[in-house]
Structure 1
């Protein structure tokens, strides 16, 4: 299922991704550091929600309390929880 998440506190403004069970694919960020976010999208393609959370949750960008990778971890967890509620 396709999901869209509006980020909070980052340069990117939105994340879109597919969630099939607990597998994440087709991650696309809007805004932010294009090259870095393409790299993150490629690296997480095919990973589970749990794997993404364990690798990316809590990463900070400078003095910000979050980052684009952290927001991705939040987004996939929220989507997974809403699909399995």
Structure 2
């Protein structure tokens, strides 16, 4: 298991901490943002593969913003995969 910390950009949340087991997300903790929504998202992500989360979350926007917390989760997972030379 490995911990990966990501600082999102352009959203209310301030930090995303992922517990990763290869390409499987075991846990996510998000600081800041809409607490209830992000807790729900964190629970949904448990034991999911990076690829399925990226497919579902990439490009989601929040209101008039160019990004959202789900989109930033996809960006974080993309960065993790790149850092670990994963072909996602």
TM bracket, shorter-chain basis: over 0.9
> Which residue is equivalent to 2:29?
28
Runs of 5+ in structure 1 lacking a partner? none
After superposition, the CA RMSD in angstroms is 1.0
1:12 matched to 2:22: no
Runs of 5+ in structure 2 lacking a partner? none
Question: Which aligned pairs between 1:4-83 and structure 2 lie closer than 5 A?
Answer: 4-83=5-84
Output the CA distance in 1 between the equivalents of 2:62 and 2:21: 29
Q: Tell me if structure 1 keeps the 8 A contact 2:27–2:45.
A: no
- Between the two proteins, the alignment pairs up a number of residues equal to 85
Alpha-carbon displacement from aligned partner over 1:23-71 (angstroms, at most 9, x marks no partner): 0121011100000000000001111110000111100000000000100
Deviation for aligned residue 1:20: 1.1
Q: Tell me if structure 2 keeps the 8 A contact 1:24–1:76.
A: no
Q: Which has the higher contact order (CA 8 A, sep 6+)?
A: 1
Output the CA distance in 2 between the equivalents of 1:45 and 1:7: 19
Output the CA distance in 2 between the equivalents of 1:21 and 1:15: 17
Output the CA distance in 2 between the equivalents of 1:3 and 1:81: 12
